[in-house]
Amino acid sequence: MSMRKRVHVKVILLGNSGVGKSALMNLYVNKHYTNSYKATIGADFLIRDVSLDGKNITVQVWDTAGTERFQSLGSVLYRGTDCCILVFDVTSEASFRALDGWRKEFLLQADPRDPDGFPFVVIGNKTDLSSSSREVSSKHAEDWCKAHKLTYIETSAKEAMNVEEAFQNCVRLALKQMKSEDRSGSQPDLIQLTSEGDKAPGTCGCS
């Protein structure tokens, strides 16, 4: 029996600073959550090997700084991305309003082959916080995503709620897009990594 070909999928997390991008990435890859906040400088990445829908997949997840100071890295970091996850904090309306800008900036910098059909997943994070502190309702977020034909899911990195499902959705959308572009058998423009076992952390020193 021949070994199944491994598919490489690059995922990038975008959103304002403090919405929980690093926590989501670490929980997905390392199954670990920490409530200590440390702002991402530039970009970090982790990789995870998964089996999904009968395919062996290496998922490379990039976590980006949610500040304008590092947006100049966009053209380098965004290139070769197969799915983009837009993250906002359900207790911050400002982080939700910023999503459209992040989406447009990504499409401009990444210049995907099919901008209208490029796969995005929108995550409303921090649902574990008190409902009285919530500033963005599920319906408001769902309506916005529906209008823009985006997939929406609510998560809590702290409680590990829907995080695995959100990334699985992202990978499935990426694989579907790759198949439609007839490139699922080839590797995208991934930055080459060195790995120890199944996971490898790293940082981007782009300038």
Q: pLDDT tens, 44-76?
A: 789 999 999 999 999 999 988 765 544 555 577
Share of the chain above pLDDT 90, in %: 64
| Nearest-angstrom CA–CA distance, 56 and 13 | 22
Residue 133 has what pLDDT?
95
Assign 180 a pLDDT band (cuts: 50, 70, 90). confident
Does 35 fall in a domain? Answer: yes
Does 71 fall in a domain? Answer: yes
> Average pLDDT in the 147-169 region?
96
Domain residues for 141? 6-187
Q: Quick check: 13 pLDDT over 70? A: yes
Cα distances (angstroms) measured from residue 100 to each of 15, 31, 78, 152, 203:
10, 30, 16, 14, 26
Does 43 fall in a domain? Answer: yes
Residue 43 has what pLDDT?
67
Does 178 fall in a domain? Answer: yes
Residue 66 has what pLDDT?
60
Q: Among 119, 113, 188, which residue's Cα sits nearest to residue 151?
A: 119
Model confidence over 191-206: pLDDT tens digits? 544 444 444 445 444 4
**Mean per-residue pLDDT of the chain:** 84
> Average pLDDT in the 66-90 region?
78
Q: Quick check: 150 pLDDT over 90? A: yes
How many structural domains comprise the chain? 1
Does 158 fall in a domain? Answer: yes
Does 163 fall in a domain? Answer: yes
| Nearest-angstrom CA–CA distance, 132 and 147 | 27
Residue 67 has what pLDDT?
54
Residue 21 has what pLDDT?
93
Contact indicator for 169, 21 with CB cutoff of 8 Å = no
> Average pLDDT in the 141-150 region?
96
> Average pLDDT in the 80-105 region?
96
Q: Quick check: 119 pLDDT over 60? A: yes
Share of the chain above pLDDT 70, in %: 76
Residue 30 has what pLDDT?
92
CATH code of residue 52: 3.40.50.300
Does 195 fall in a domain? Answer: no
Does 199 fall in a domain? Answer: no
Q: Among 27, 31, 54, which residue's Cα sits nearest to residue 175?
A: 54
pTM score of the predicted model: 0.81
